[in-house]
Amino acid sequence: MHFRPIGACHGANVPYYPSPLSPLIGDIAQIPAHAASCIIEASISSRFVVSDNAKGAFAVAREVINPENIPSPPFIRTLFSTTKFAWLWTIIRVYVGWQWLSSGWNKVGNPAWTQTGAAVRGFWANAVAIPETGNPPIRYGWYRSFLNFLLEGEHHTWMAKLIVAGEILVGIGLILGALVGFAAFFGALMNFNFMLAGTASTNPVLFLLSILIMAAWKVAGYYGVDRWLLPMVGTPWQRDLTAATSREARA
């Protein structure tokens, strides 16, 4: 085995194998990622007759340089993917869930939310207004146009009811720990829209906590319904992976 600059890797000492490339199969796990990349480039540009062993070696090389194979820091994995901190996520999701549930429940007896939708109409009207001095609440023209579209179409009635139902359902889902990832996503979506409309209040904090809950969706509901629900229903990508594994096994 000796070293030779190859193509775009000129100047870099990388292992060079003359055709056939079968010696790669024994040493590929020890080759640095940049060297493996250069070797793959050499195999393509030089039009070697590649043996089956070499093809397998190149497949391993691609795995070596695949970003998906770069491990996460141990602390990140422990925090977001193990049950060690499930108690912490339980506290966070119950807090966020209670904020949503109490907010939605307080609107249930208010006709401006559940009947006329006047509360939402007034909120939108204030948000799209452009003051003579100072900055308008909405900083993005496209979002102002979107709210104007909703106002002109008188969509405030059904939107008010949807907001009330959404806040209650998100709150219940987070408190019970049921489909936590979905509940946190829709909660963050509402926070995001309120912030785009120029409202701060508790939205920035709840938005950040919801994003963190989404990142920890596998364990955030461990002390809740998801502990049994997620293994039972599975996930779409889990089913795809199982099907792919079955096809490979049959092949």
Q: How far apart are CA 124 and CA 18, in angstroms?
A: 70
Whether the full predicted model's pTM is greater than 0.75, yes or no, is no
- Six-digit token pair at 8? 């775009």
Question: What pLDDT is recorded for position 70?
Answer: 75
Residues 6+ apart with CB under 8 A from 45: 7
Label each residue of the chain as H, E or C: CEECCCHHHCCCCCEECCCCCCCHHHHHHHCCHHHHHHHHHHHHHCCCCCCHHHHHHHHHHHHHHCHHHCCCCHHHHHHHHCHHHHHHHHHHHHHHHHHHHHHHHHHHCCHHHHCCCHHHHHHHHHHHCCCCCCCCCCCCHHHHHHHHHHHHCCCHHHHHHHHHHHHHHHHHHHHHCCCHHHHHHHHHHHHHHHHHCCCCCCHHHHHHHHHHHHHCHHHHCCCCCHHHHHHHHCCHHHHHHHHHHHHHHHC
Written as one letter, the residue type at 149 is: F
Going residue by residue through the chain, which has 251 residues, state the pLDDT in tens, using 9 for 90 and above.
444 444 445 445 544 444 444 444 444 444 555 555 555 555 445 444 445 555 665 565 565 567 767 777 888 888 998 899 999 999 999 999 999 999 999 999 999 999 999 999 999 999 999 887 778 889 899 999 999 999 999 999 999 999 999 999 999 999 999 999 999 999 999 999 999 999 899 999 999 999 999 999 999 999 999 999 988 887 655 655 455 555 555 65
| Token pair in block for residue 56 | 């397998």
What is the structure's pLDDT at 136? 84
